[in-house]
Amino acid sequence: MENLSTHLAGPVEKDSRVLQAELALRRNLRSGSWKEYVPGIRTLATSFGVSPATMVKAVERVRNDGWISNKGERRRFLIHRDVILKSKGKEAALRTLLLLAPKTGHNEPARGTSQLLLHLWELLSPLGWSIRFHLDDYASGKRRQKQWDALVELEKPQAVVAILGTPAMAAWARDAKIPIFFSGGTIGDYSVPMVGVSSNLMLEEAMDKLIGLGHRDITLPLSGRATSFAAALKTTISKKLVNAGFDFISEFNCPTSEAGGVEAYHKCLDRAFAIKTPTAIICLDWREYVTSLCYVQRKGLRIPQDISLICQSHDHSADWFIPKPTHFMHPLNKIASTLCEWLEDMTTYNNFSLLATVRGVLAEGESVASPPKK
C-alpha cells in the first residue's frame, strides 16, 4: 500500500497540512497554552511537525479571524483572548477520511481518480476532514483484510471511501464495523452506499449511436471485470442488437476474460477478430481505448474509416489524439458532492438504500463514423 499524496497535485497534501496546523494552533490558543504572545514561526512549526512555510499560512488564517495580531512583519503575534472567547469552536478535532484507490500495475492512480480525489479534498478539507490517500491492489476483488486492518490502525479514520469498491471490501468493512462508501464499483450481495456513473446507461447510448449509424458488428471486450458487472453489460448489448434485428454472438460481441491486464485484453480482441473484423469497438476505460487503437493500427486499419472506437471514460490527454476520441465525460463534481453530503451526515450511513447514479455525457469526437460499405 502506498500514500497517494505523493502522486497527486501538490496543493492537496500541502493545504491539508495547513489546515491541521491551523486547528492545532487554535486549540492551543483556546486552551491558554500561551499567556500574551504566540511563539515564533519556527518554534510553532517544529512543535506541530510542519514546515515554516506551512506554519506561516496557518498563522495567517488565524490572524484573519482576529485571534492574534502583529504590527510589522517581524513583530510578535499578540493574543486577543476576548476575540477567542467569543468565537465558535473552529479548532474542533479533525475527522479523518481514508480514500482508497485501486492500483493497476503502476504506483499512481488513473487521471480520473486523481481528479475525483481533488474534488473531494476541495469540499471536505474546509469542513475539518483530514484526508489520507492510499493505493491498494484490490482491483482483483480478493479480500485483503490484513492490509486494510493495518491501514485503519494507522490512520484511525471515521470513514472510508473506496474508488471502484469490491464485494470483498464491503464484507471487510461490515466485519470491521467501519462506515464505507463506494464511488463506483460492485457491491455484490452487500449493502453499501454507492454513487457512480452507470456503465449500462453509457453502453446503451453508445450502442444506439453505433446502430443508428449502421453498425452491427460491434465488440465490447471484457477483461478483469466482476462477473455480475460483465453479465449486466452482456445483457445490455445483447438486447440492443436483437431489438435492432441483429444476432448476438457472445464470443464476438463480448469476449470475456476473468484475468485483467493488457495481455488478457489483447486475447479478448484476438478472439473477436478471429470470428470476423468488427466495425466498432466499445472500450470501458481509457487504457483499453489506447490498447484498441494500437491493436487496430497494427492491423493496418484506419479509424474511423475501417473501425469506429468509442470510450466510456475520459482522460485529459484525449485532446492530443488524432482522430479525437468519441468518449463519455463523467460529472466528477456531482459524485464528489454526493459523497460529501453523505459523509457530513453520518447518521444516514445505515440507510443502505443510498444509491446515486449520475449520467455520463457523450462528447462527440472523430473516432466514430458509419461502417465501411461491403
What is the model's pLDDT at position 83? 87
Domain ranges (residues) in the chain: 9-86, 96-192, 199-330
Which pLDDT score is estimated for 200?
92
Percent of residues, the chain, with pLDDT higher than 90? 41
Tell me the mean pLDDT in the region 78-103. Answer: 76
pLDDT of 12 > 60? The answer is no
> Could you tell me the sign of the dihedral formed by the alpha carbons of 11, 17, 23, 26, in that order?
negative
Instruction: Give 9's pLDDT tier (boundaries 50, 70, 90).
Output: very low
Distance (Å, whole) CA 58 – CA 41: 10
Specify the range with the lowest mean pLDDT, choosing from 31-35, 170-174, 269-273, 321-325: 31-35
Q: Which amino acid is at 223?
A: S
Question: What is the Cα–Cα distance from 25 to 35, expressed in whole angstroms?
Answer: 14
Q: How confident is the model at residue 90 (pLDDT cuts 50, 70, 90)?
A: low
Mean pLDDT of 11-40: 76
96-192 and 199-330 share one CATH topology? yes
User: What is 9-86's CATH topology?
Assistant: Arc Repressor Mutant, subunit A (1.10.10)
Residue 323, CA atoms < 13 Å, CB-side half-sphere: 19
Whether 183 and 164 have beta carbons less than 8 Å apart is answered as: yes
Indicate the SS3 state at residue 72. Answer: coil
Q: What are phi and psi of 321, to 5 degrees?
A: -90, 145
pLDDT tens digits, 233-282: 999 999 999 999 999 999 999 999 988 889 999 999 999 999 999 999 99
Calculate the average pLDDT of the chain. 85
The cell 475501417 sits on which residue? 306
CATH number of 199-330: 3.40.50.2300
Pick the CATH number of 96-192 from 3.40.1500.10, 3.40.50.720, 3.40.50.2300, 3.40.50.300: 3.40.50.2300
pLDDT tens-digit readout, 177-207: 889 999 988 887 888 899 989 899 999 999 9
